[in-house]
Amino acid sequence: MKKRVIIDTDPGLDDALAILFALGCGKFDVLGLTTIAGNIGLERTTANAGGLLAVMGRGDIPVVRGTDIPLTRELQDLVAIVHGADGLKGVMLPEPLAAPLDDAPGWIARVLAEADPGSVDILALGPLTNVAHVLTEHPEVADRIGEIIVMGGTIHEPGNSGPNSEFNFASDPEAASVVIGSSAKVTIIPLDVTRKVRAQADYVEALPDTPHGRLARELLTAYLQDGRQSRPLHDPCVMLVALDPSLFKIENMKLDIDLGDDPDAGRLLVDRRGKLVDVALGVDTERALALLRTGFE
């Protein structure tokens, strides 16, 4: 059976690759793309999500606009230096096939309420604000979530936002705290793993010559760091964990979130008083990239 998922996302180059993989591999039943302001502003992330669906001819999948501000903090500076002002470094997408819906948290809650308990996973690729709104405003659906798989945080690696904090969690530390502390099953994929998953130039050049394979090639070419290998493929790791956890070394850890006001706000804290969650701390990079390639055939 296909895995039924909601993808919460802020596309973004690596988000775009993750979404194309999820739509192209044939192993996910994507119920909707819910958007969040993260890598770039909400209107652009929403338009990019619709454009990715258009590439795949999937006008039947809704895009649902989420929130553009964190739970309690101001929105962080955008990361256009990595993703460009359009989020895709100039890679062009077609116009969306349908207008987006509104109120991502309410939409997610309705989908969960109508589905069999445990039958829908949330794949969270950006800041966790939408998911936190679901858990706080619709607590009755928390135990109906199959699993929340999150790209975020760092355990042993340096941060990419503060010295020890990762962008998604730093963008909304309170939201990350809500999700990690909830009753839902949570798996975290931190920088410790995602920085090990990078595409070499020859991998990019050999991607299949399908419409989404060609688009993936363009996106990865734009994402090449030095002409030889890509920046870390953070968000595709979420999809890979969902499909094949055996690719990863996953450990149970008790974690909390730093809710301070210093540059490390959003830092993951290993704390015996924290919530027990699954954390990916290792990856078989070769097998992970081989599985990723199958999504573009």
Q: Which long-range contacts (CB under 8 A, 24 or more apart) does 209-218 make?
A: 210/24, 210/296, 210/297, 211/55, 211/56, 212/20, 212/23, 212/24, 212/55, 212/56, 212/295, 212/296, 213/296, 213/297, 215/20, 215/55, 215/91, 216/17, 216/20, 216/21, 216/296, 218/91
d(CA 188, CA 223): 23
In sequence order, the 6+-apart residues with CB closer than 8 A to the CB of 51 are 93, 94, 95, 96
- Active-site residue identified among 83, 133, 212, 234: 234
Residue 156 designated active-site: no
Active site residues: 234
